[in-house]
Amino acid sequence: MDILLIGANGTIGKAVATELGQRHRVISAGGNSGDEHVDLTDLASVEALFARVGPVDAVAIAAGNLHFGPLAEFTPEQYAIGLNDKLMGQVNVVLAGQKVLRDGGSFTLISGVLSDDPITYGSSASMVNAALEGFARSAAIELPRGLRINVVSPTVLTESLEGYGPYFRGFESVPAARVALAYSKSVEGAQTGQVYRVL
Amino acid sequence: MDILLIGANGTIGKAVATELGQRHRVISAGGNSGDEHVDLTDLASVEALFARVGPVDAVAIAAGNLHFGPLAEFTPEQYAIGLNDKLMGQVNVVLAGQKVLRDGGSFTLISGVLSDDPITYGSSASMVNAALEGFARSAAIELPRGLRINVVSPTVLTESLEGYGPYFRGFESVPAARVALAYSKSVEGAQTGQVYRVL
């Protein structure tokens, strides 16, 4: 397969590249790194990415920013960061990609454990991650030509515990390599409309 | 209790006013109707509403717009309608209201069945409804002073079948009066962080 991996330079992206690169051609993309650069928040930039890369069999995304902060101080503008970036950035990939992926191709998006297991300061993450899961369940029944879509929802990464551990007390962490297996299941399996929770 | 009901003029809003009005003082609000007018998409307008109404014991929302259309033709601007209106409109009520509700007060938001039971043309609804449920789960653990938040998720209304029935074939409809009972449970009960599915 030809697999476009967006966010290839992050902790999860590198693990996905390692896992899928053993059996497939991986084209890496990112905001400032990888074979191809793209601004996911701009649909035209995503369309230009697909025009450059050409048809692929799968798109896997391991990218997305959002704001963390106390609910008491959150602003609409801070929620907009996650809505525009992690949510609509990935939706833009589906909007553009549904026209150019090869028949039977797949989208693999990323959400996160906070969609249904919240932490303090995480209201935007819970909102955005749940939105991605709802979107994917719905898109799965409308995508044409056998195209599939799934979401990988990882808990906190073992590799990120040093930075984020205090916000995730009591959460069991997972290594990025385990998260990469969920991407493999989505890309190399046949399911659609699923949320793969890696806990 | 003093209950601020936003979207009081809609099918669900009227049923909620009937249910809660038997035992409480209901202040109605809406975009163009009710005792008070408000633009939920504008946080300043929501703050001004609370300044006029004064402290209340509960806010119940039965309002929110979003776009329906085929995934193949959906645009970011069409997703923004639902994100700005049904999603952030209700989030703005929580952002402003958390500072002014009386101790132990409650927010009751509205999502909808499509969050996890999608239909064709409903990708924005699935996204927005799931986002609201994720947000409420998270906000519930951060709200101060015993404030509570729940979401009512109704399936298609019996009163709406004439217009929307063709999009919801096979869904059992519910009368708005049953949906209003879920608002009663949220406002007059003691739970928080719950999604009340009325199916």
**Which domains does chain A show, CATH number per domain?**
2-198 (3.40.50.720)
When scoring B40, B42, B138, B194 by the number of chain A Cβ atoms within 10 A, the one with the most, hence best to mutate, is B138
> Would strands B148-154 and B106-110 be described as parallel, antiparallel, or unpaired?
parallel
Task: Please report the pLDDT score of residue A47 as a whole number.
Answer: 98
Cβ contacts of residue B72 below 8 Å, gap of 6+?
Answer: A98, A99, A142, A144
Percentage of chain A modeled with pLDDT above 90: 99
User: Closest partner residue to B88 among A79, A119, A125, by Cβ?
Assistant: A79
Report chain B's mean pLDDT, rounded to a whole number: 98
Q: Report pLDDT digits (tens) over A52-84.
A: 999 999 999 999 999 999 999 999 999 999 999
Shortest CA distance to A160 belongs to which of A170, A169, A173, A171? A173
Phi then psi dihedrals of residue B110, to 5 deg: -125, 130
**Cβ distance of A142 and B71 shorter than 8 Å:** yes
Interface contact flag, A127 B131, Cβ < 8 Å: yes
Say if residues B150 and B195 touch (Cβ distance below 8 Å).
yes
Chain B residues whose beta carbon lies within 8 Å of the beta carbon of residue A139: 71, 123
pLDDT band, residue B8 (cuts 50/70/90) = very high
Q: Do residue A91 and residue B137 have CB atoms under 8 angstroms apart?
A: no
pLDDT in the model for residue A134: 98
- State the burial class of residue B7 (Cβ atoms within 10 Å of its Cβ: 0-12, 13-18, 19+): buried
The two beta strands, A148-154 and A36-37, are unpaired
Q: At what angle do helices B123-139 and B88-97 cross, to 10 degrees?
A: 20
What is the reported pLDDT for B84? 98
Query: What pTM was computed for the model?
Result: 0.98
What pLDDT, in 10s, does the model give residues A147-181?
999 999 999 999 999 999 999 999 999 999 999 99
pLDDT at B85: 98
Determine the length of chain A: 199
Could you give the strand order of the β-sheet that contains B194-198, starting from the edge strand earlier in sequence? B36-37, B25-30, B2-6, B58-61, B106-110, B148-154, B194-198
Return the pLDDT at A76: 98
Query: Are B76 and A87 a contacting pair at CB < 8 A?
Result: no
Question: Which residue from A43, A131, A142 is facing B134, i.e. has the nearest CB?
Answer: A131
Mark yes or no for CB contact B70/A142 under 8 Å: yes
Nearest-CA distance from B64 to chain A in Å? Answer: 16
Of A123, A134, A140, the CB nearest to B139: A123
CA atoms within 13 A on the CB side of A127: 33
**CA-CA distance, B104 to B82, in Å (whole number)?**
30
Within 8 A of A72 by CB-CB distance, chain B residues are 98-99, 142, 144
Tell how many helices (H) and how many strands (E) occur in chain B: 7, 7
Nearest Cβ partner of B43 from A76, A88, A94?
A76
pLDDT (mean) for B118-131: 98
Mutation for testing the A interface, residue in B123, B151, B192 having most A CBs under 10 Å: B123
Of A32, A5, A33, which is closest to residue A19 (Cα–Cα)? Answer: A5
User: Which ipTM did the prediction report?
Assistant: 0.98
Predicted pLDDT of residue A128:
99
